[in-house]
Amino acid sequence: MTDYHAPTRDMRFVLEELLDLETIAALPGFEETDVDVVNAILEEAAKLSGEVLAPLNRSGDEQGAQWTPDGVRAPEGFGAAYQQFVEGGWNGVAADTEFGGMGLPECVATATQEMWQSANMSFALCPMLTAGAIEALSQHGSAEQKGTYLEKMVTGEWPGTMDLTEPQAGSDLAAVRTRAVPDGDHYRLYGQKIYITWGEHDMAENIVHLVLARTPEAPEGVKGISLFLVPRYLVNDDGSVGEHNDMHCGSIEHKLGIHGSPTCTMLYGEKDGAIGYMVGNEGQGLALMFTMMNEARHKVGVQGLSIAERAYQQARWYANDRVQGKPLGYAGTDRPPIIHHPDVRRMLMTMRAQIEAMRALCYSTAASMDLARHHADEGERQASQARVDLLIPIVKGWCTELGVELASTGIQVHGGMGFVEETGAAQHLRDARIAPIYEGTNGIQANDLVGRKLLRDQGRAMSALIEEMREVVQTVGDSDSEAVQSMHGQLVESVEALREATEWILSNGAEDPVQGFANAHAYMMLAGYTCGGWLMARAAMKARAALDAGAPDAGFYEAKLVTARYYVEQILPRALGYARAVTAGGDAVMALSAEQF
């Protein structure tokens, strides 16, 4: 397995040039942020990811987390690495300075998230979920809850988890049965939660669980669900850790990948009941949990980007090292490495171009989060939040689908050696495969995109995005650069295909839900590829402008232009196929009876 080197130059291009970091840094609350500070943060994060986290990726996969009657043990080295992570303040990059965070923009935090996930996805799942718990508690917790828990969570001393799923309640959270019985100023919880990532471990003295449960008189369905803060150890009045709460990990799952991350079955209330504290108001649990879920879904999309980047780095290294055959058209007399074979170039370019498109989309969505939270104008905040809500299911769904595809392509570059565990290429595919499933399957993301973000919104947010895309495409068509202008035709077709598919769903989906939802996944993929084309076109224009201005690192910008052109010519046509699937309707999808399968 090769080393991981964070692509900080590519990250800086997206942040500084594509997203205009200086404009983001000028938002209220980011007064201490400037480009030099961000660059220093990225370089230090790159050192931690490359020198501390990445070397534990393979060993963590081989050893795995271990369940014992006394608790769960993280793989060797994870605990020490986590202490370095906490001491460096990395858990709170985007968190409020009031509670010990760095107070940097979310788009900057997303760049560091990419590094952690690329270096060691199993490890990075722990701080990823803590970030979501911090966001939920920051927005909805009481003053007392924030005072007791938030600073410890921001530092990472007390990581957080999200406890939703039960044996009978997977995606259907209306079926949650965990009980929360009032007992003075707190509740006592009884029940079982499954698939709880990093629900129990020995890397921190306390763990803060956010748990969905029902109070005794709660109605059936989602309106009866409330959210509770349940610490592993109760907290004394002076802030110190007290007695163990009535909860423990009954077992951990044996999984296809992410072996270093314990996926726990958590048991609450086998004695007197686990003490918990209601967050927000009774019956609002699911709505409050979505604060955490949206945070997590964006970061899972980043996982798709991250694992693809790691697979690409390994495939690129192997292609430059492996000698096999003489490539067609190769003029030299030696036997060069396989990177000279056209088909290997095709695979590497396919990986590279889609990674750059994913990075642009993930960071752009995070920048919209910053605008939604910090812009001085209420109208701008609302418009930015609408953009975030629209893009989150696309980021999660499209990027994780590509993460699996590109990790598989990385194996293909290795040939037979990719199928052998010792090379490490297979681990990336095994790890990537969970991302389209958890935090809401990609089918759920597609349904959310079509149902909540399109039909319920009457297409307003998507129409605004399409109009912005059209303006960029028009600028591409007007460019005096042949390299940029050549992308115009395919971009026009793709954006118009997205518009037509959107109108088709709006016209047909409201009357017949099957027509709207049967090909929702195809619509999500269409939106993802088209968003990628829009952002790669913008990247191409930025690169062309830098070259025209005499940028010293001309080779970097030339590569950006070529990569954008490859995406538009070789990847973006996929959008048209997905558009045709959407407008074909759902009749064939549902034509067979259940008995005919």
| DSSP-derived 3-state class of residue 190 | strand
Structure-block tokens of residue 100: 């010990």
What is residue 183's DSSP assignment? E
Task: Identify which of 12, 199, 3 has the alpha carbon closest to the alpha carbon of residue 112.
Answer: 12
Q: Which amino acid is at 244?
A: H
DSSP codes of every residue in 240-289: -EEEEPSEEEEEE---SS-TTS-EEEEEE-SSS-EEEEEESSTT-HHHHH
Q: What is the Cα gyration radius of the chain?
A: 24
Structure-block tokens of residue 305: 């980007």
585 torsion bin: left (phi>0), alpha (psi -120 to 50), beta (else): left
Helix (H) / strand (E) element for 235: namely strand 233-235
DSSP codes of every residue in 43-102: HHHHHHIIIIITHHHHHHHHH--EEETTEEEPPTTHHHHHHHHHHTTGGGSSS-GGGT--
Q: What whole-number distance in Å separates Cα of residue 110 and Cα of residue 43? A: 14
Task: Identify which of 281, 523, 241, 272 has the alpha carbon closest to the alpha carbon of residue 397.
Answer: 523
Q: What whole-number distance in Å separates Cα of residue 42 and Cα of residue 465? A: 30
CA atoms within 13 A on the CB side of 440: 26
220 is catalytic: no
Q: What's the residue count for the chain? A: 597
Beta pairing partners, 197: 263
Annotated catalytic residue, options 151, 401, 439, 493: 439
Cα dihedral value 272, 278, 281, 287, nearest 10: -110
* b/e per residue 530-557 (b: at least 16 CB within 10 A): bbbbbbbbbbbbbbbebbeeeeeeeeeb
How deeply is 574 buried, as exposed, middle or buried, from its count of CB atoms within 10 A (0-12, 13-18, 19+)?
middle
Beta pairing partners, 183: 186
Q: What whole-number distance in Å separates Cα of residue 125 and Cα of residue 198? A: 8
Contact present, 207 and 196 (Cβ < 8 Å):
no
Q: What whole-number distance in Å separates Cα of residue 52 and Cα of residue 116? A: 10
* Pairing mode of beta strands 208-214, 160-163: parallel
Catalytic residue set: 439
